[in-house]
Amino acid sequence: MNIEEFIVYYKTEGQIFRAYNSLSGQINNLGKLPRDIPNFYLPKKNKKYIADDVSLKKYAEDLYKDKQELLKKTGFNYFYYTNKKGEKIVGNHSSCIERFFKMYPTKQKTDGQVFYKMMERITPEEVELFKMTYNGYLQYINKGEHTVYGYDYKGFYQCILDNDEFIIPMKAGKYKTIKNFPKDLKFLSFGFIFVKISCDNEDFKKIFMFSKDNCYTTYSVKFALKYQTKYNVNIEIIQKENNAYFYNKKDCIPSKKIFEKWSKKLNQLKKDLPNNGLIKMLSASLWGHLSRKKKFIKTEDEVNELNNNNLIDLDNSKKYKILDYITDENNNSFYKVLDVEQPYFYNFRLKSFITSYGRNITAELAIKMGLENVVRICCDSVCSTKSFNCDEENKINSKYCIIPETKSTGKFIFNNVNQPLLPC
């Protein structure tokens, strides 16, 4: 590997950065990442790497190779870029993934930047609603030893973003009061609904994630209503007033209008560079980075200055909120803080909606496979004791491509939905 300085890291349980420097070859614990060196987190969801020192060095080698390959093919430098002032800016996964998205024109023949300006600021009300819904992926496991066939979707979240049926609100909505649901669900407004959903049917529990705060997106409510009779699902609107938060239809836009050209470019790169790990990162991680909270690491002196100016506290009453206190191996103190007034870096209202929409897609696949055969569901991956005709399914639903998954096909011990499968 050619010598070019950058850092790869992962977070320890104590919220310290375990970091490898490619130039020095040293591994250290850091309370705060340097701002003048490109730094990249270890993608632990990639089964090639685990949170240890060996994986840090291995990932540094793979990252540099993929970076050089991408640079040669597209001219896109994953480590650095030059801004309009001619300044050299260091990269990280978030900035690079977002910068790549901004490079490609949208259907309106404007660059991705225009949508950053069109999206109005996410309100505190919406922030609370995002918290109240279940924001994870679909997950289910039948523990034990099973012989299964594994399947997953190709470019799952990229395909959702490149879909004219997935909707993104551009402006804040308003609280409304509803008494019942329309007979034709296409007339159900888009947003959040306070509703208690319960069910004793074990098959329905495999394909639906419940909210402890009884707050669901329209996508989830429609799914529950669709299968209410089949699985005897109890659905009860709660609160007499302000029991829904709906967005104006004219303030919503199909996500395809924003992400279509970006998606086409990625599809071409997947063909040109099929083994490049950064291509998958650019594809699968965009929605998460566009939804990331505006958190910062501040030194003790910086926090003291903010406190002297009455700008920081432990609650939401000031501009900044202290989230966590960190001490590194050299006993240096740092604080993790949140920008209360602007809690997200970008105002893309993807959170809650893209996850609930994705859960519905995977659930429908599991139903077609026969829920009695399903052993494990994890995000867009389903393991079944019976084989499934992917080709036939892809003809019916051409917007998404389901493919056999070799790593989850065979005889395994199933213990935990989020752990790697253990071959028997």
**pLDDT, tens digit (0-9, with 9 covering 90-100), for 268-324:** 999 999 999 999 999 999 999 899 888 888 888 899 999 888 989 888 888 899 888
Would the pLDDT of 108 be above 50? no
Name the pLDDT band for 343 (thresholds 50, 70, 90): confident
Residues 6+ apart with CB under 8 A from 411: 145, 146, 147, 148, 423, 424
Consecutive H or E run containing 9:
strand 7-11
Would the pLDDT of 74 be above 50? yes
- The neighbouring-strand residues paired with 299 are 334
Nearest to 253 by CA among 347, 189, 169: 169
| Percentage of residues in the chain having pLDDT higher than 70 | 96
Which has more pLDDT, 108 or 197? 197
Within 10 Å of residue 34's Cβ, how many Cβ atoms? 13
Contact 115, 364 (CB under 8 A): no
- Eight-state DSSP code of residue 268: H
pLDDT value for 44: 74
Nearest to 361 by CA among 175, 161, 72, 132: 161
Would the pLDDT of 253 be above 70? yes
pLDDT value for 114: 62
pLDDT digits 0-9 by tens, 378-397: 999 999 999 999 999 999 88
pLDDT digits 0-9 by tens, 28-64: 999 888 989 999 999 876 678 999 999 999 999 999 9
Q: Which segment, 72-81, 219-228, 237-246, is predicted with the most confidence on average?
A: 219-228
Burial of 132 (0-12, 13-18, 19+ CB in 10 A): middle
pLDDT digits 0-9 by tens, 349-361: 998 999 999 999 9
Query: What mean pLDDT do residues 239-264 have?
Result: 93
Query: What mean pLDDT do residues 237-257 have?
Result: 94
The torsion angles phi and psi of 341, rounded to 5 degrees, stand at -70, -35
Average pLDDT, the chain: 91
Name the pLDDT band for 116 (thresholds 50, 70, 90): low
pLDDT value for 45: 67
Residues 6+ apart with CB under 8 A from 90: 35, 36, 37, 38, 39, 79, 80
| Helix residue ranges, H only, 39-188 | 53-74, 93-103, 113-118, 124-132, 156-161
3-state secondary structure of 319: coil
Q: Whole-model pTM? A: 0.89
pLDDT value for 109: 47
Phi-psi domain of 342 (left: phi exceeds 0; alpha: psi -120 through 50; beta: other): beta
Would the pLDDT of 105 be above 60? no
| Biggest distance spanned by C-alpha atoms of the chain | 66
Would the pLDDT of 213 be above 50? yes
pLDDT value for 56: 96
Phi-psi domain of 242 (left: phi exceeds 0; alpha: psi -120 through 50; beta: other): left
Within 10 Å of residue 211's Cβ, how many Cβ atoms? 19
pLDDT value for 67: 96
pLDDT value for 299: 87
pLDDT value for 25: 94
